[in-house]
């Protein structure tokens, strides 16, 4: 009897920890709850280890992720897989064994808040294998340096170095890649790096080969407004909670973690901040850039007075290389045809939607692919054991767009 009672109590405690009220429209909520409970457990354990001085929280998280997810480079019947370098940056290469003589080419940057994950993770390995098979394409998945050991602009420089090498005649010829059919892509923080690379190389007139398309998967594109409608609506929706995103930004920019409350209050972008002018504010003015169905009833949070010293202390907050949404219209207009995926239940939804709108206003051909039941990170959960319906649909939609446009 006591064992039964103890078991019931433990089961109830586990259910209490796993259960989380979620919006009614989110895809397969119980799977998301389970995923979130695992992620929260790892985050809390890493916070405890960090507080006790055992190791940095990010180092522990990456050790756990590597132990669970990282897989060897194993070739299959259809795809040859090797670990190599691209512009001096570690890269996993996926090459179709059959198909056309000249292949399409995609350089891909993984997500993880510029601090976590790897292109060698099982989820990214499976994604790139499927892309290689379905598109008859050479996929290069880049392992750029990670925070806290590397901070901005290190990750950005790695993305540029790998992209420049990818577009070089030597690499294109070595892997039989068609120079007219090359793409830069990435998800979340990787989408940020992909957008930044597309801007840099779109404006570089010295390049003989340029990207034909850019494909951005729920990208993070700005750090000045943590009160967009999607940040307000989804602040407590897993797996990317609003405070997590502020923490990732501060780690990426090499800033003091104690600034997190200021970012979450929008104190860093107050009107008394001399480094943020009207033109910059217009580039992330969601009241003008978002359609009414996304703005809903939410109101902007703009502080009259805040903490004007934050931007001078952390200049990366307004650096367009870190925040591609802040780019000039002329720079955006030189970037290639774009695909921008967004998810309704994602704090970063409006970053992507505003970027798509600004690209369109600059004359770029844009496909905005929105998933009404999607959540942040859903596309990398397109396979077992936590395969989600929206994950599979979003992956298929992404690859289908590449097949039609690359």
Is residue 13 over pLDDT 70?
A: no
Average pLDDT of the chain, as a whole number: 92
Secondary structure letter of residue 212 according to DSSP: S
pLDDT value for 349: 98
Is residue 54 over pLDDT 80?
A: no
For the stretch 189-217, pLDDT in tens is 999 999 999 999 999 999 999 999 999 99
Helix, strand or coil for residue 87? Answer: coil
Q: What is the mean pLDDT of residues 40-52?
A: 80
Q: What is the mean pLDDT of residues 28-32?
A: 85
Q: What is the mean pLDDT of residues 17-23?
A: 71
Taking the CA of residue 214 as centre, how many other CA atoms within 13 Å lie in the half-sphere pointing to its CB?
Answer: 34
Is residue 16 over pLDDT 70?
A: no
Secondary structure letter of residue 161 according to DSSP: H
Question: Looking at the domain assignment, is residue 18 inside a domain?
Answer: no
CA angle at 382 for the pair 72 and 365, rounded to the nearest 5°: 105
- For the chain, what is the domain count? 1
Rounded-to-integer distance, Cα 333 and Cα 328, Å: 9
pLDDT band at 19 (very low <50, low <70, confident <90, very high): low
User: Is residue 246 within 8 Å of residue 226, measured between CB atoms?
Assistant: yes
List of residues 6+ apart from 168 with CB closer than 8 A = 209
Closest to 34 in 3D by CA, of 218, 238, 188: 238
- Looking at 253-362, list the stretches that DSSP marks H as alpha helix, in order from N- to C-terminal side: 260-264, 278-282, 286-289, 292-295, 309-313, 329-332, 349-361
Catalytic site positions: 188, 346, 376
Boundaries of domain holding 276: 25-406
The residues facing 214 across adjacent strands are 184, 338
For the stretch 223-240, pLDDT in tens is 999 999 999 999 999 999
Q: What is the mean pLDDT of residues 132-156?
A: 98
Is residue 275 over pLDDT 70?
A: yes
Question: Looking at the domain assignment, is residue 16 inside a domain?
Answer: no
Question: Looking at the domain assignment, is residue 265 inside a domain?
Answer: yes
pLDDT value for 23: 85
pLDDT value for 65: 76
Question: Looking at the domain assignment, is residue 10 inside a domain?
Answer: no
Question: Looking at the domain assignment, is residue 135 inside a domain?
Answer: yes
Q: Is 218 left (phi over 0), alpha (psi -120 to 50) or beta?
A: left
pLDDT band at 324 (very low <50, low <70, confident <90, very high): very high
pLDDT value for 18: 62
pLDDT band at 7 (very low <50, low <70, confident <90, very high): very low
Beta strand pairing status for 337-345 and 89-96? unpaired
pLDDT value for 247: 95
139 φ/ψ angles, rounded to the nearest 5 degrees: -110, 130
Question: Looking at the domain assignment, is residue 5 inside a domain?
Answer: no
pLDDT band at 336 (very low <50, low <70, confident <90, very high): very high
CATH code of 362's domain: 3.40.50.1820
Question: Looking at the domain assignment, is residue 17 inside a domain?
Answer: no
Is residue 14 over pLDDT 50?
A: no
Is residue 118 over pLDDT 90?
A: yes
């Amino acid at each position: 009897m006591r064992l039964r009672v103890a078991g019931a109590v433990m089961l109830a405690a586990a259910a209490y920890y796993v259960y989380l009220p979620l919006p009614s429209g989110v895809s397969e909520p119980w799977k998301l709850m389970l995923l979130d409970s695992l992620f929260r457990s790892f985050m809390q354990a890493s916070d405890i280890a960090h507080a006790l001085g055992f190791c940095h929280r990010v180092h522990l998280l990456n050790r756990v992720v590597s132990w669970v997810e990282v897989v060897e480079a194993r070739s299959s019947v259809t795809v040859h897989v090797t670990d190599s370098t691209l512009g001096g940056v570690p890269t996993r290469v996926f090459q179709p064994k059959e198909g056309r003589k000249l292949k399409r080419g995609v350089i891909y940057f993984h997500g993880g808040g510029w601090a976590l994950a790897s292109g060698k993770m099982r989820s990214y390995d499976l994604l790139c294998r499927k892309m290689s098979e379905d598109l008859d394409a050479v996929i290069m998945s880049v392992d750029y340096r990670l925070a806290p050991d590397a901070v901005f602009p290190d990750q950005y420089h790695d993305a540029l170095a790998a992209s420049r090498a990818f577009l070089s005649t030597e690499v294109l010829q070595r892997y039989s890649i068609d120079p007219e059919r090359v793409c830069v892509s990435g998800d979340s923080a990787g989408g940020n790096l992909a957008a930044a690379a597309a801007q840099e190389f779109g404006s570089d007139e010295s390049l003989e080969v340029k990207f034909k398309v850019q494909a951005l998967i729920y990208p993070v594109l700005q750090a000045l407004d943590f009160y967009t409608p999607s940040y307000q609506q989804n602040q407590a929706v897993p797996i990317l909670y609003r405070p997590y995103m502020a923490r990732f930004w501060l780690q990426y920019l090499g800033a003091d973690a104690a600034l997190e409350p200021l970012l979450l209050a929008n104190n860093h972008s107050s009107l008394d901040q001399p480094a943020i002018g009207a033109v910059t504010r217009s580039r992330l003015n969601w009241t003008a850039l978002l359609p009414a169905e996304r703005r809903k009833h939410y109101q902007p949070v703009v502080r009259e007075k805040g903490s004007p010293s934050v931007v001078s202390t952390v200049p990366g907050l307004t650096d367009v290389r870190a925040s591609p949404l802040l780019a000039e219209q002329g720079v955006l207009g030189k970037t290639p045809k774009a695909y921008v995926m967004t998810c309704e239940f994602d704090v970063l939804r409006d970053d992507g939607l505003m970027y798509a709108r600004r690209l369109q206003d600059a004359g770029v051909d844009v496909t905005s692919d929105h998933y009404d039941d999607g959540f942040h990170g859903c596309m990398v959960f397109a396979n077992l054991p936590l395969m989600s319906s929206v994950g599979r649909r979003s992956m298929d939609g992404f690859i289908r767009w590449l097949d039609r446009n690359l």
